[in-house]
């Protein structure tokens, strides 16, 4: 029986969607524990009453310090206290990271926790890591990110021996900035299944099982993929709406468009995973659907079953000897 702390407040969609998602994920083996206002209709789930809410725009460190009784901080603290085995929050990413660093602390040997985001690419999920936790990195950080991303892909996404690529500006090893050049050498010398560099154009096409980069580049790339999809579909809708035949055609391709959206659905994987802490932390999208929350809770429980945190620790300790 795995207890997963769920921060029910702070989602842009409101608490009801989070509660509904948690309820969907509840099973004999998975017990979501809600953290949120005492007023909340918990739909039969366990509810820990909290009095504060961290807003999306609050400064992470300030929010963490000032709001010890927020649903976000209390949910993370539940993992630190052993009351839950993992935590899911649809809230402020920076605040979750700050709370995780202080309350859960890093795994031994982890230099920097990183954010891993499974992108629904052509061949299956592509785990982008770091997607934004560390704006400035050193090459050895990228090696750790790759190692953590590979463990995540193996244990949580069921990918045996994940292929790893480094996001850079050309496929040749000598293409890149100083950080990428040095990270390339470390990755090539590691025991990971490193397949060289990938470029931005490969991300959605399915560059690799794990795509490693610094948190600045990763965040820009992730948001570029998301924004380009959104804008392109807007453009297409506008052009289709511009003529009567277009509108008719648009109706006929509606099932195809629905399948396309399902294929690209970021909710399939629940959100972003914060790797490298003594506890599994999932940051669901701020406007997560119940389905996204449910998937996040299930993946978090799966991570506990597979002892992802322990495996990360073991792998990183091995690597620490090697570096």
> Based on CB atoms, which residue is closest to its own copies, 56 or 159?
56
Please say whether the beta carbons of 71 and 49 come within 8 A.
no
Least distance CB 12 / its own copies (angstroms) = 15
Query: Does 260 help bind its own copies (rule: CB under 8 A)?
Result: yes
Options 30-38, 163-171, 288-296, 311-319: segment touching its own copies (CB under 8 A):
163-171
- One character per residue 71-110, x = contact with its own copies (rule: CB under 8 A): ----------------------------------------
Interaction of residue 251 with its own copies, rule CB under 8 A:
yes
Tokens 């982890």 belong to 110
217 binding its own copies? (CB under 8 A): yes
Interface segment toward its own copies; rule CB under 8 A; list 146-154, 231-239, 266-274, 298-306:
231-239
How far, CA to CA in Å, does 118 sit from each of 64, 189, 221?
A: 27, 25, 13
By CB under 8 A, residue 62 contacts its own copies: no
Closest contact distance (angstroms) between CB of 245 and its own copies is 5
The residue among 102 and 204 lying less far from its own copies, judged by its C-beta, is: 204
What distances in angstroms separate CA 312 from CA 265, 303, 317, one per listed residue?
Answer: 27, 11, 8
149 binds its own copies (CB under 8 A): no
φ, ψ dihedrals at 3, nearest 5°: -90, 125
Q: d(Cα 219, Cα 212) in Å, to the nearest integer? A: 12
Closest to 89 (Cα-Cα) out of 98, 101, 76, 78: 76
- Selected from 16, 140, 182, 199, the binder of its own copies by CB under 8 A is 199
With binding defined as CB under 8 A, does residue 248 bind its own copies?
A: yes
Does 11 participate in binding its own copies (rule CB under 8 A)?
no
Query: Residue 198 CB, nearest distance to its own copies (Å)?
Result: 10
Rg (CA), the chain: 20
Smallest separation, CB 219 to its own copies (Å): 4
Kindly tell me which of 160 and 201 has the beta carbon lying closer to its own copies.
201
Q: Report the C-alpha gap between 23 and 26 in whole angstroms.
A: 5
287 in contact with its own copies (CB under 8 A): no
Q: Which residues pair with 3 in a beta bridge?
A: 31
- Pick the binder of its own copies from 49, 102, 159, 264 (CB under 8 A): 264
Decide: is 185 part of the binding site for its own copies (CB under 8 A).
no
Judged by beta carbon, residue 88 or residue 221, the one nearer its own copies is 221
**Binding positions for its own copies, rule: CB under 8 A:** 122, 132, 135-136, 167-169, 176-178, 180, 199-205, 214-217, 219-233, 235-236, 239-240, 242-243, 245-246, 248-257, 259-260, 263-264
């Amino acid at each position: 029986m795995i207890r997963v702390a769920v921060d029910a407040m702070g989602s842009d969609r409101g608490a009801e969607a989070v509660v509904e998602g948690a309820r969907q994920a509840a099973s004999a083996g998975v017990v979501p524990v809600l953290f949120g206002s005492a007023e909340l209709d918990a739909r039969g789930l366990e509810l820990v009453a909290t009095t504060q809410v961290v807003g999306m725009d609050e400064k992470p460190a300030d929010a963490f310090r000032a709001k010890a009784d927020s649903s976000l901080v209390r949910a993370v603290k539940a993992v630190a206290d052993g009351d839950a085995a993992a935590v899911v929050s649809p809230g402020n990413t920076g605040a979750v990271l700050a709370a995780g660093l202080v309350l859960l602390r890093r795994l031994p040997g982890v230099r920097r926790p990183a954010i891993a985001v499974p992108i629904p690419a052509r061949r299956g999920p592509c785990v982008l890591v770091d997607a934004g936790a560390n704006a400035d990195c050193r090459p050895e950080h990228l090696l750790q990110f790759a190692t953590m991303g590979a463990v995540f892909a193996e244990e949580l996404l069921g990918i045996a021996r994940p292929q790893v690529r480094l996001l850079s500006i050309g496929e040749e090893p000598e293409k890149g900035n100083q950080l990428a050049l040095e990270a390339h050498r470390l990755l090539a010398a590691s025991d990971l299944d490193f397949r060289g560099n990938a470029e931005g154009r490969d991300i959605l096409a399915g560059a690799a099982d794990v795509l490693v980069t610094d948190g600045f580049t990763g965040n820009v790339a992730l948001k570029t993929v998301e924004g380009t999809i959104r804008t392109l579909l807007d453009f297409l809708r506008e052009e289709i709406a511009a003529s009567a035949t277009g509108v008719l055609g648009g109706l006929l391709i509606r099932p195809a468009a629905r399948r396309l959206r399902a294929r690209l659905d970021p909710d399939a994987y629940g959100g972003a995973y914060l790797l490298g802490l003594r506890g599994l932390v999932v940051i669901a999208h701020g406007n997560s659907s119940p389905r996204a929350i449910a998937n996040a809770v299930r993946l978090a429980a799966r991570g506990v079953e597979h002892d992802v945190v322990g495996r990360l620790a073991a792998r990183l300790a091995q690597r620490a000897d090697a570096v």
